[in-house]
Structure 1
Amino acid sequence: MPDLPARFAALIITFAPLFVQRSWLHARVLLIGALLAPGRRTVASVLRITGHARDRHFTNYHRVLSRAPWSARGGARILLGHLVRAFAPRGPVVVGLDDTIERRWGPKIAARGIYRDPVRSSHSHFVKTSGLRWISLMLLAPIPWAGRVWALPFLTSLVPSERYNAAKGRRHKTLLDYGRQIALQAHRWLPGRDLVLVADSSFSSLVFLQALRHHGLTVITRLRLDAALYDPAPPRAPGTMGRPRKAGRRLATLAKIAADPATTWQSIQVETWYGGGARDLLTASATAVWRHNGLPVVPIRWVLIRDPAKPDAPAQALLCTDLDRTPQQIVIWFVRRWCVETTFEEVRTHLGVETQRQWSDRAIARTTPCLLALFSIVTLLARRLPKRQRRSVTAAAWYPKARPTFSDALAAVRRAIWREQHFRTSPQQTDRRKVPFRMPQAWAYALCNAA
């Protein structure tokens, strides 16, 4: 099995307490193999790339995912600690929350459902797909050597379909239920830190916002332009009969405010606007109370955004549950959410998500979160490389690249691991005979076999 460089082993060994000794030896092989294997991330591919293709006890490696007792939640807590210390040691901890569909078919994939495919669908074209729904919590932090923000997954949970829960006799929990639980779990793991949660419009729910706001989390998400906004409830006069009021007078909708010529707009600059460069924007902001019959009342700060370069485009609206945040800070944090979609695409392209072939319910629930967490582990390993190695860029005449991406970080980590095996400096010897080169079996598999 390939050995890890000392700078990598010091990080990987922190996950050893999650396993018993024998399971850890097998789990370590799976981790190294998942880093090195090209194409599919099946257990068979991992064993081939690590030189265990002829191991008769190969089922022991499958059992790490399907039977071995270890806590994925405990691993997520350890990983979050590493990420925060490395990339967010001070200031607010900004995390992104989003869901994705892993396309899987077959009767043995019990937790799958039929969902809208967000990649293939558009506003005018609806595409359904069979698969597993995952919700992931990611640290949104700037990576110094990459010069941009990356979304680093650390806690991912399976959201089973309603049909699966009915068959198991379980109460069905919605996407918002899982989102609330994992967000509060991260909040408990980071006591004393200011946690800012950024999410899309799927999580713009009064129940969801109130639950997180009650525990001290700041939530930033999109807001409908026709949302019912009110003034805060006026002070209750002594001796007033009946239930106290929850809100004051009804305010104009954000759509009317955006179209009103009397609206005062302020200019702000955002350094990175959805993967591009700096952009000057116009914003209008105020505080209000968002209310709907039968639901909690949530005080918010709303922010309207206009792009001067696109005067005909409709305004966008954001909300923040912390009334003291500035509009510029709210917009900057919300734009970081775009990196979440990039991470989902990177793990499919480079880490083999949707290529695994487990059928066991427990193995299915563990494999995809581990592959998503591998994105963050690769980033942490790349941080331990010398500056020259982690800043190396794989470019070509037809593909110029100014900054390293995740594929470059993965290549640098792989290169460091392979260099540890076969590129060591030989001691000085008097015998000058040339030893014929013999390609290692793992190299032959990676280079010659079909992807």
Structure 2
Amino acid sequence: MPDEGIQAILQIRRWLPHLPFHRLSPAEPWAASPGRAITIVGDSSFASLELIAAVRRYVRLVTRLRLDASLFAPPPPRRPGQRGPKACKGHRLAKLTAVLANPATRWTRVWVNEWYGDEGRILEIVSGTAIWYHPGLPPAPIRWVLVRDPSGQREPQAFLSTNLDDKPEAILGRFVWRWRIETTFQEVRRHLGAETQRQWSDLAIRRTTPVLLGLFSLVTLWAGELMGDAATAPQPRTAAWYAKPLPTFSDAIAAVRRAFWCPAELSMSRPGQATVEIPVTLLRRLVDTVAYAA
């Protein structure tokens, strides 16, 4: 993953040359407005010292951090006349597993609007800066954030940012935003066939995925318009083992299909007539079934 991740991130940097480069410390000035710097958010496969060393000067990287990662204090300043190579790290810090188990750890409670698709909840966090180091690999100055759920529903997790002056709440917020992007790509693959299309032309391959993502946006907008009418509003399709309080994309695309298949101007039956060839309730059930299966 590091090689592919490095190439992808540096390609994004080449695509957006007008945005400022990432600063490595609060004392280093930005080349332009700091609010538009590139932020890359990734899962645990992006938590690589090789990847961080290759991209940290170009982007801000936010990703997971192992609870048993080896963290160190910054190297002490060199004494006048001191010889030998410059130290890349200081003394060893307690691992995050020890911080988690230490009763003296001072936790801060924060409210998170959304946590892995769930509703907002209160989390407890503790944060600090350190040097993440492993023998044979370049050291990485990071800001780490340790998170635990007071309700005990989810396991404790740790995250990192290569920007040392990031606020812990901002790091969590950026990582939570990734959930929506992942869900979007998952729904596009499942319901619109992204990554399963078969073309021989390179141009067709490059065009298909953007078109499908655009179709996803159109379906979402059309479903939003249908929400204004109780008769056409997407209704969550639930099961005994899966209760949905709000419609998902499968409900949205089924509602849009029904709206296209049964436009009011093409309905020739009289409003008061209950049956034509089959009962109305059975016809609606068949249309709903096909709308989800199409």
TM over 0.5: yes
- Asked if residue 194 in structure 1 is aligned to residue 46 in structure 2, the reply is no
Q: Contact (CA 8 Å) 1:184, 1:212: kept in 2 or not?
A: no
The within-5 A match list for 1:173-184 is: 174-184=3-13
Aligned residue in 2 for 1:371: 209
Any conservation in 2 of the 1:281–1:305 contact (CA below 8 Å)?
yes
Equivalent residue pairs, number: 250
Task: Check the 8 A contact 1:382/1:412 in 2, yes or no.
Answer: no
- Given candidates 205, 224, 233, the residue that maps to 2:48 is 205
Mark the CA change 1:423 to 1:415 in structure 2 (over 3 Å): closer, same or farther.
Answer: farther
1:370-411 residue CA offsets vs partner (Å, 9 max, x unmatched): 32552245426855x696347674216757866554456656
The Cα shift of 1:202 comes to 0.3
User: Could you say what secondary structure the match of 2:55 adopts?
Assistant: helix
Tell me the residue number matched to 2:113: 271
The residue identity in structure 1 corresponding to 2:217 is T
SS at 2:17's partner residue?
A: helix
Asked if the contact 1:180–1:208 (Cα under 8 Å) also holds between the matched residues in 2, the reply is no
1:388 aligns with 2:225: yes
CA RMSD of aligned residues (A): 3.7
Provide, for residues 10-40 of structure 1, a one-character-per-residue CA deviation record: whole Å limited to 9, x for no partner. Answer: xxxxxxxxxxxxxxxxxxxxxxxxxxxxxxx
Indicate conservation of the 8 Å contact 1:230/1:248, yes or no: yes
Pick from 52, 60, 63 the counterpart of residue 221 of structure 1: 63
Distance of aligned partners of 1:174 and 1:194 in 2 relative to their CA distance in 1, 3 Å threshold: closer
Cα distance in 2 between the residues matched to 1:364 and 1:387:
30
User: Contact 2:111 / 2:122 at 8 angstroms: preserved in 1?
Assistant: yes
Decide which of 192, 198, 205 is 1:351's aligned counterpart. Answer: 192
- Maintained 8 Å contact 1:229/1:253: yes
- 1:263 partner letter: T
Structure 1 distance, partners of 2:38, 2:69, is 26
User: Is 1:362 the equivalent of 2:202?
Assistant: yes
CA distance in 2, matches of 1:196, 1:182: 14
**Percent of residue pairs bearing the same amino acid type:** 42
User: Deviations along 1:245-300, whole A, 9 cap, x unmatched?
Assistant: 11111111111111111111111110111111111111111111111223222111
Are 1:299 and 2:149 counterparts?
A: no
CA distance in 2, matches of 1:343, 1:179: 20
Match of 1:316 in 2: 157
Task: Tell whether 2:180 aligns with 1:339.
Answer: yes
The Cα of 1:416 is off from its aligned counterpart by 9.2
Structure 2: tracts of 5 or more residues without a match: 21-32, 267-289
Aligned equivalents of 1:201 and 1:283: distance in 2? 19
Cα distance in 1 for residues equivalent to 2:103 and 2:19: 45
Return the alpha-carbon distance in structure 1 between the equivalents of residues 264 and 17 of structure 2: 44
Per-residue CA deviations over 1:39-59 (Å, capped at 9, x if unaligned) read xxxxxxxxxxxxxxxxxxxxx
C-alpha separation between the residues in 1 aligned to 2:254 and 2:16? 33
Is contact 1:232–1:248 with CA below 8 Å preserved after alignment?
yes
Distance 1:397 1:230 in 2: 51
Deviation per residue, 1:325-379 (Å, 9 max, x gap): 2212211221222224322321122211354233x37368536xx3255224542
TM-score, length-scaled by structure 2: 0.70
Instruction: List, as ranges, runs of 4+ consecutive aligned residues in structure 1 with deviation greater than 6 Å.
Output: 411-419, 421-424
> Residue type of the partner of 1:213?
R
Residues 143, 163 of structure 2: 8 Å contact kept: yes
Secondary structure of residue in 2 paired with 1:188 = coil
The aligned amino acid for 1:395 is Q
* TM-score, length-scaled by structure 1: 0.47
- Taking the aligned partners of 2:84 and 2:215, their CA distance within structure 1 comes to 57
- Distance of 2:12 and 2:175 partners within structure 1: 17
- Do the aligned residues in 1 keep the contact of 2:44 with 2:63 (CA within 8 Å)? yes
Distance in 1 (CA, whole Å) between partners of 2:15 and 2:226 is: 32
Do 2:234 and 2:252's aligned partners in 1 also have CA atoms closer than 8 Å?
no
Distance 1:235 1:344 in 2: 47
Alignment CA distance shift 1:309-1:187 (3 Å): farther
